[in-house]
Amino acid sequence: MQRAVAQVPELVIPRYVDGCVLRKGLEIGELLKIRKQALLYVHPCASERGKLMADVELSEDLEKDFFDGDTLCKILESAALGFSQFKCSSNLGVAKFVWKGREISVFRNGKLKIQRCVDRSDILRTANRVSRLVWAAALCDVCKRPALECATDRCGKCSKGKQAVRVERLPAGELLAHAMKLQDRKRAAYFVFRFIVESPTKEDAVVGISLLGEFVS
């Protein structure tokens, strides 16, 4: 793996301004610290005995759009190799998919519904992974555009210069290095999403988001 990584030693990505959704992230653990209540509602699954389901509210104001519907469908379409079922309506702003045996719905207002979890920590882990997956579709407070446009600097407001990142120093860097060697965009996108989901911190994960513009059109 060492040799493969050495072929893509450095990536140049934007440095994002304070307040940009790519700086803030959608980390469930951080949201739970800020808003202890009204974030996570856990109930038994109606369809499967012994399993849990949860509603997770990423936004405080469910009347407002939290995700951009078009971007939501586009990015999940690129991640869909990892799903066993997938449908998305950009008009309705609803995505539904089955991922690692969990049934997931994402709504434009920032609500996630997660079904068939085994326990509370499974819910939290799944919610965190899902929020990383849909991060690029979240609307940014700075430019009011989806994060994907901040990542590609298309919004024109969220980047303050560039930074060089050494891929092999990132904790899940081998997934990114692998993605960059693949010719097939769909497969490459799958590995970029794995990197985004499996990176331990949002600061590492954002490197993958910064590359998504190349894979999501």
d(CA 152, CA 91): 24
CB of 192: closest distance to Zn ion in angstroms?
Answer: 19
Smallest separation (angstroms) from Zn ion to the CB of 156: 8
Residue 153 CB-density burial (10 A; 0-12 exposed, 13-18 middle, 19+ buried): middle
The CA angle 16-17-23, to the nearest 5 degrees, is 60
Binding range to Zn ion, per CB under 5 A, among 106-114, 124-132, 157-165, 196-204: 157-165
Q: Please choose, out of 14-22, 67-75, 114-122, 199-207, the segment that lies near Zn ion by the rule CB under 5 A.
A: 14-22
Strand, helix or coil for residue 166:
strand
Q: Does 158 bind Zn ion (CB under 5 A)?
A: yes
140 is an interface residue for Zn ion by CB under 5 A: yes
Q: Assess 151 for contact with Zn ion (CB under 5 A).
A: no
Could you tell me the smallest distance in angstroms from the CB atom of residue 153 to Zn ion? 8
**Coil/strand/helix, residue 138:** strand
**Is residue 209 involved in binding Zn ion (CB under 5 A)?**
no
Under rule CB under 5 A, residue 142 binds Zn ion: yes
- C-beta neighbour count of 13 within 10 angstroms: 19
Interaction between residue 138 and Zn ion (CB under 5 A): no
The least distance separating Zn ion from the CB of residue 73, rounded to whole angstroms, comes to 20
Amino acid identity, position 135: W
Is the separation of the CB atoms in 35 and 60 below 8 Å? yes
Q: Which residues bind Zn ion (CB under 5 A)?
A: 20, 140, 142-143, 150, 155, 157-158
